[in-house]
Amino acid sequence: MRNTYKKLEVLHFPDPRLRKIAKEVDTFDNSLQTLIDDMFFTMYEEKGIGLAATQVNIHKRIIVIDITNDKSEKIDLINPKLISLSSTKDSMDEGCLSVPGFYETVSRPNQVKIETYNTKGEKKILDAEGLLAVCIQHEIDHLNGVLFIDYLSKLKKDMIIKKLAKQKKEINKIVL
């Protein structure tokens, strides 16, 4: 662990770079650990519970998650692969650091099993349920260029797009 971290810039929807497909990590070196540490730092600074590398414009299959309130359970996933999904689903209010200010209900399987790698390049199996299971699916979606708002009705999605465009217009007015 270092004592200084870099706060990475988080891309915001509708940035087209959020649609890129991330590539598998094939080198497990120090720079990978550095990136993961900076991703945790960025996620905590932004008050998030999950962050995918895609969101910080790094198109590699890396995710950081911490769903605790006291930063006590850091989970990093490298090349995560869903190997089973429960048929039972749960609806949860989801948000996203790349779609700030918007929360909508999404239905997803409430239990998942994934295969993933740690920073040493060792393969691990992880079983998750509830919020962690939902967060894992949300973040793996990012690696595939998918956002939670893609699951909403066209009406709801269009409303978000419109509000964001309006916000951007207001910000530009102030800058001008």
- Closest approach of Cβ 76 to ligand QAP, in Å? 15
Neighbours of 62 (CB within 10 A): 26
Q: Which of 16/101 has CB closer to ligand QAP?
A: 101
Which residue from 18, 36, 50, 52 is in contact with ligand QAP, where contact means CB under 6 A?
A: 50
9, 122, 139, 170: which one is catalytic? 139
23 bridge partner residues:
60
Interface of this chain with ligand QAP, residues 119 to 158, rule: CB under 6 A? 134-135, 138
The question of whether 170 is a catalytic residue gets the answer no
If one counts every other C-beta atom within 10 angstroms of the C-beta of residue 33, the result is 15
Query: Out of 8, 48, 75, 78, which residue is the one contacting ligand QAP (CB under 6 A)?
Result: 48
- Tokens (6 digits) for 144: 């595939």
Q: Which residue, judged by CB position, is nearest to ligand QAP in the bound state?
A: 48
* One residue of 4, 30, 47, 155 binding ligand QAP per CB under 6 A: 47
Q: Tell me the C-alpha to C-alpha distance, in Å, between residue 58 and each of 36, 62, 77, 126.
A: 11, 9, 15, 24
CA gap 13, 148 in Å, rounded: 11
Residue 96 lies near ligand QAP (rule: CB under 6 A): yes
Determine the residue type at 42. Answer: T
DSSP structure class, residue 110 = S
The residue within the footprint of Co ion, chosen from 10, 96, 143, 152 (CB under 5 A), is 96
Which residues lie below 8 Å from residue 37, measured CB to CB, with a gap of 6+?
Answer: 1, 2, 5
Q: Which residues bind Co ion (CB under 5 A)?
A: 96
Q: Which residues bind ligand QAP (CB under 6 A)?
A: 46-50, 92, 94-97, 100-101, 134-135, 138
Catalytic residue numbers read 139
